Amino acid sequence: MASLTIKNAVKRYGSVEVLKGVDIDLQDGEFLVLLGASGCGKSTLLNMIAGLETVTEGEIMIGDRLINDVHPKDRDIAMVFQSYALYPNMTVGRNISFGLEMRGVPKVEREAAVLEVAKMLQMDHLLDRKPAQLSGGQRQRVAMGRALVRRPEVFLFDEPLSNLDAKLRLEMRTEIKRLHKRLNATMVYVTHDQIEALTLADRIAILKDGEVQQLASPAEIYDQPVNMFVAGLVGSPPMNFISSTVTRTDTGYGAEISVRANDGDQPVLLDLSDHPTDLSTHVGRKIVVGLRPEAITQSGHSTGSTTQSFACDIDVTEATGADTLCVLNWNGKEVMARVSSGYAQIIEGTMDFAVDMSRASLFDPETEMRLG
Amino acid sequence: MSEQTTFVPAQTRSAVWMRLLLWAVLIVFAIWFLLPAYVVVGTSLKELEEIRGGSLLSLPHELNFWAWKHAWSEACIGVTCTGLEPYFWNSVKMAIPAVTLSTLLGALTGYALTKWQFKGANMVFALILFGCFVPFQVVILPMAQTLGIIGITNTVYGLILVHSVYGLAFTTLFFRNYYVTIPDELVRAATIDGAGFFTIFRRIILPLSPPIIVVSVIWQFTQIWNDFLFGASFTTGGAQPIMVAMNNLVNTTTGVKQYNVDMAAALITAAPTIFVYIVAGRYFVRGLTAGSVKG
Ligand SMILES: Nc1ncnc2c1ncn2[C@@H]1O[C@H](COP(=O)(O)OP(=O)(O)OP(=O)(O)O)[C@@H](O)[C@H]1O
Ligand SMILES: [Mg+2]
């Protein structure tokens, strides 16, 4: 059992800086997801932990052992690759036991270990097949089995589910979660699927251009994104950003917007009184109000403390099953609202919406950073 | 067959004619190309009398293997009259180790160049590639000196070395181009599993290589077996490979020119390469295109 510490990790290819000082501290048994757009350096960081890429600067430690210059095989890690990387010439059984064989584990023990893992992943009937004779999901299982069989301190996953179809992906996601619970091992998981990140992670590290934007629990990432990049990356549909100016009101502060309602633009004052930040220095300055679609819902439904209701025109509705997305028009821009499915099916045109301002995030439009 | 076949539309009828024409042309060309082979085989089975008296194209009166036997074990090459047999074995002793060595080394360099990208790997590959375009004649003199220094001039070992070195450029090219299609993640996975450079090569890369090994073996075998220049330059007398010996046999004329023996000698000399093509030829084309088409 081991913790994982990454201190100021830098990776350069020649003059190109791919990772610009990453700091991550992982408890023993924690599940970390690295989330970010393509090319932001997720795989590079993972490969550095695995020892497949050198560390240009900084330190990587497993437990209290510095592993910068330790050979991959001696790091006590296992890795699952996006392409699975199964050895095509070996049977499933040999694929799984190869790592043990390389470590000089006797044959009898190897076979027992392989059988145990195969049972755990429900693939003991596949042990004599070659990878080419397996379906995508089965290959995925073999790749997992190959990692599991060695009982490493740290598991590394590089987008292990991205080659699977939607249904299988869901199944395997649950399976990985179950395995994590059962093994209680430290895991680092790379993905650019935010749903995967939110469902699997104990903590999520959001990467952008080789820098960690936010390292926090899924709930914190979702509710209190540190900047507009994180806010826009996580959540589907993404957070609505509404530009406005801070004004002083009788009860505190507000942000005026114009809302399309009854085929005309109506001024509405969004109430910022409950916001924890002192907004006195922001009066008269521009601000971005971030509202998740579910913070804007049908009137009477929302139970937030600072709920305000007003009428809005519905441009379009999109049914997603459990609830329906309504496209509204605020400040001349599209804003997504999420209502219970019963409602918007019937209603097209104007409807009263309740906005829960206690769930709003405020951002500085210049720095794009969160206020408070 | 359905009733409809009785009615042949004009378009189809012209297609039939085209097809017939195509066949006719193909047959003519087949005969054209096969004729020399027929003459060689036919002549080797005739008696000398028959060759002198009859037409070049006439069938032999009876199957007479005297010329083959003579070429194999009795014909005079220069002053020694041993037939081609010892030279044939010289060639075998040269070709098998040289083909094996150059193929194995090519696989190893190709593997190192693609899967263990070191600084300047592409430069090294470019230089090796350059070796493919160096003509035989250029290397003869330095090679002769090298063989002299090592002390293996006029031996089979000398020829093995020469052919292995010269072939390495080609085999490296083959294997490199094949190995770039094998995903790097395999090597990464094996590294984490604890396998080293040679273990990965032996346990994972080589088992995936048969198609390209076939290509390399055929290519190298044909090159080495058919080589005349290196053989003639670096060996004399009893150490010569069969290609040189056959040439000498044909040029050693005491009295009457024995065409049937010459033809038989040519066929004996060519037999191993033909054999290799027949056995492995169908894998050859497959291997050549394996890199370009996925799966
Ligand atoms: N060998 C290399 N030389 C130069 N640049 C490289 C090299 N390998 C990766 N990079 C660059 O590093 C950056 C990060 O690559 P990385 O593979 O870590 O991205 P990623 O976040 O895993 O993306 P994806 O989601 O597409 O897998 C990319 O911009 C890539 O171009
Ligand atoms: Mg990646």
- Give the pLDDT confidence of B108-162 residue by residue, as tens digits: 999 999 999 888 888 999 998 888 888 888 889 999 999 999 998 888 999 999 9
Task: Tell me which of B77 and A22 has the higher pLDDT.
Answer: A22
- Euclidean distance between CA atoms A219 and B250, whole angstroms: 90
For residue A88, give the nearest of B190, B195, B208 by CB distance.
B208
Query: Do residue B193 and residue A83 have CB atoms under 8 angstroms apart?
Result: no
- Euclidean distance between CA atoms A156 and B135, whole angstroms: 51
Residues of B in contact with A52 (CB under 8 A): 188, 191-192
- Euclidean distance between CA atoms A27 and A363, whole angstroms: 31
- Euclidean distance between CA atoms A156 and A159, whole angstroms: 10
Least CA distance to A100: which residue of chain B? B193
- Helix, coil or strand: residue B75: coil
Q: Which of B188, B192, B197 to mutate to test the interface with A (most CBs of A within 10 A)?
A: B192
Q: Which residue, B122, B55, B48, B103, is CA-closest to B287?
A: B103
Please give the C-alpha separations between residue B194 and each of A46, A117, B156, B209, in angstroms, as whole numbers. Answer: 18, 19, 41, 22
CB contact burial A338-354 (16+ within 10 A = b; e otherwise) = bbeeebbeebeeebebb
Tokens of B145: 């000196």
- Euclidean distance between CA atoms A371 and A362, whole angstroms: 5
Q: What is the DSSP letter of A369?
A: B
- Helix, coil or strand: residue B64: coil
| End-to-end Cα separation, chain A, in angstroms | 37
Q: Tell me the per-residue pLDDT of A184-223, one tens digit each, with 9 for 90 and over.
A: 899 999 998 999 999 999 999 999 999 999 999 999 999 9
pLDDT at B40 > cutoff 70: yes
Q: Which residue, A33, A320, A38, is CA-closest to A173?
A: A33
Q: State percent of chain A over pLDDT 90.
A: 73
For residue B208, give the nearest of A50, A72, A89 by CB distance.
A89
- Euclidean distance between CA atoms A145 and B192, whole angstroms: 14
Q: What is the pLDDT of residue A108?
A: 96
Q: How far is the CA of A43 from the centre of ligand 1 (A)?
A: 7
Q: In one letter, which amino acid is A193?
A: D
Q: How far is the CA of A164 from the centre of ligand 2 (A)?
A: 16
Query: Do residue B185 and residue A78 have CB atoms under 8 angstroms apart?
Result: no
Q: What is the mean pLDDT of chain B?
A: 87
- Helix, coil or strand: residue A261: strand
Does residue B56 contact residue B39 with C-beta atoms inside 8 Å? Answer: yes
Q: Which residues pair with residue A297 across a beta bridge?
A: A354
Q: Is 0.90 exceeded by the ipTM?
A: no
- Euclidean distance between CA atoms A106 and B4, whole angstroms: 71
Q: In one letter, which amino acid is A171?
A: E
Tokens of A43: 């795989």
- Spatial neighbors of A234 by CB under 8 A, at least 6 apart, are A35, A194, A197, A198, A204, A206, A221, A222, A225
Q: Where are the alpha helices (DSSP H) in chain A?
A: 42-50, 92-102, 107-120, 136-148, 166-183, 194-200, 218-223, 228-233, 341-346
Q: Which residue, A107, A108, A181, A183, is CA-closest to A145?
A: A183
Neighbours of B213 (CB within 10 A): 21
Q: What is the CA radius of gyration of chain B?
A: 25
Q: Tell me the per-residue pLDDT of B157-184, one tens digit each, with 9 for 90 and over.
A: 999 999 999 999 999 999 999 999 999 9
